[in-house]
Amino acid sequence: MRLALMLGLSFVMLACPGSFKAKNPPCESNADCSVEELGSDFPDHVCRASQCYPSASAPGVEPGGDTGPQSVYDAGAAVDTGRTVECRQDEDCEAGEVCIGGYCLESGVPPRPEAGNSDAGGPAPELDAGTPDAGPPAPVLDAGGPTPPNGSSADLASQSCSSLLADYPELQSGSYWVDPDGAGPVVPIEVFCDMETGGGGWTLVLQRRVGNSNTESCGANLDEFVQGACGTVGALAQTDSYSIGRSSRQALVESSSGHWLVVQYGNNNIADPNDAFTLRHDGDVFDLFSEMEVVDTPVQAVCDQDGANCVRESVSFRYAGIGSIQGASCSGVLANETGSGVYGYCTALEAQLNHGFGDRSGAAEIKVWGVDAGGVSSFSERVLIK
């Protein structure tokens, strides 16, 4: 390294004759360039770029300027007064670093101005973490590959809410763009992502509104509402109905990990985690054939909201899209009432829908379309997937 430095200095002397003396002994500080160290042939010398120079012509110092201890990155470079010599050869540095002008620097990385230098332009502004109102945060550049899409537009759609949360853990619940099938025929869609409940990363597929005897603003029965698109993610108050629609839902199913979440919300839109439940199923639990009134879909498990407690034996998801089940039961008997759709899970241990976790009280907490049993219409309910 010293040989390379000396060759560089020789080149500078040839290019600018008279600027430097012929002999420039190596040094680490001004003390190494004193008359006591070098003799009377080197009066009034200072240490610059690990070499001794006459103080009047040393690199980076004007005649009569400061001659205190300083160092430079290389001969003729701007003086950095805040650092001292760190190395004399590459072996003095850590792995991946090289010795340049007395400093250990990363291989291939040029020296940069220190903090506070007028050339540095001041500190970088802090990035906003991002909220649903302010929009997603600015992408963080990754030297190892392309920046992940942040869901802020159709052109920057991620595959799912779950992948968005994995790439940007600071994201909050709100509307984002996803493209479940990538280059497939389904175009990017704007969805609502729940980034807090049950670990976050959930995509909303249904919202049942409060009031109106558990009917929705779209569809004549539950199945028409579930299979058709209804509402927008920009209007999700408790009084709003929402359905993502069959084609988008099934595209989300294909790219999901097969987890479904059902949560009810009481007064002031406060969730009831005690009665919430999750399902483990790789397919679409709402894929009802039109000629059938009741569909029992076997599922891998039904669990509480956090997945800590599960039932795995003889578990199914029951969907009666155009009828109602007597007393919200798991007996398979359709009711002789005006209800037009109901859904929930059944286990071998319980006689009623959704009765394995929490303190649900049968039909009083099941949103049967068109039937307000026990005031259940005062709850809103969301169905999500990830």
Integer angstrom CA distances of residue 310 from 8, 147, 203, 357:
72, 38, 22, 9
Q: What pLDDT was estimated at residue 159?
A: 93
For 273-330, the pLDDT digits (tens) are: 888 999 999 999 998 765 567 788 999 999 998 888 999 999 999 888 887 666 567 8
Q: What pLDDT was estimated at residue 35?
A: 78
* Residue that wins the pLDDT comparison between 104 and 272: 272
Q: What pLDDT was estimated at residue 152?
A: 95
For 233-280, the pLDDT digits (tens) are: 999 999 999 999 999 999 999 989 999 999 999 888 899 888 899 999
Integer angstrom CA distances of residue 153 from 131, 136, 232:
15, 10, 16
Contact 162, 171 (CB under 8 A): no
Q: What pLDDT was estimated at residue 28?
A: 80
Mean pLDDT of 18-43: 71
Q: What pLDDT was estimated at residue 137?
A: 54
For residue 82, the 8-state DSSP code is: T
Q: What pLDDT was estimated at residue 253?
A: 94
Contacts for 24 with CB less than 8 Å, ≥ 6 apart: 9, 51, 52, 53
Block residue for tokens 């201890």: 69
**Whether pLDDT at 170 is above 90:** yes
Mean pLDDT of 26-32: 82
Q: What pLDDT was estimated at residue 307?
A: 85
Contacts for 365 with CB less than 8 Å, ≥ 6 apart: 264, 275, 354, 374, 376, 379
- Report the percent of the chain where pLDDT is more than 90: 36
Give pTM, 2 decimals: 0.62
Cα separation, 164 vs 315, whole angstroms? 31
Q: What pLDDT was estimated at residue 134?
A: 45
**Whether pLDDT at 78 is above 50:** no
* Residue that wins the pLDDT comparison between 40 and 200: 200
Q: What pLDDT was estimated at residue 240?
A: 97
Block residue for tokens 């302010």: 134
Lowest mean pLDDT among 101-115, 251-265, 286-300, 337-351: 101-115
Q: What pLDDT was estimated at residue 197?
A: 93
For 172-188, the pLDDT digits (tens) are: 999 999 999 888 888 99
Q: List the domains of the chain with CATH numbers.
A: 2-120 (no CATH), 154-385 (3.90.215.10)
Block residue for tokens 């097969």: 258
Contact 355, 180 (CB under 8 A): no
- Across-strand partners of 206? 243, 383
Q: What pLDDT was estimated at residue 108?
A: 54
**Whether pLDDT at 70 is above 50:** no
Helix (H) or strand (E) holding 161: helix 161-167
Contacts for 269 with CB less than 8 Å, ≥ 6 apart: 237, 238, 380
Cα separation, 267 vs 23, whole angstroms? 87
> What tokens were used for 369?
């379309």
> What average pLDDT does the structure give for the chain?
76
DSSP per residue over 271-303, as a string? B-TTT-EEEE-SS-TT---TT-S-EEEE-SEEE
Amino acid (one-letter) located at 26: P
* Sign of the torsion angle spanned by Cα atoms 77, 80, 84, 87: negative
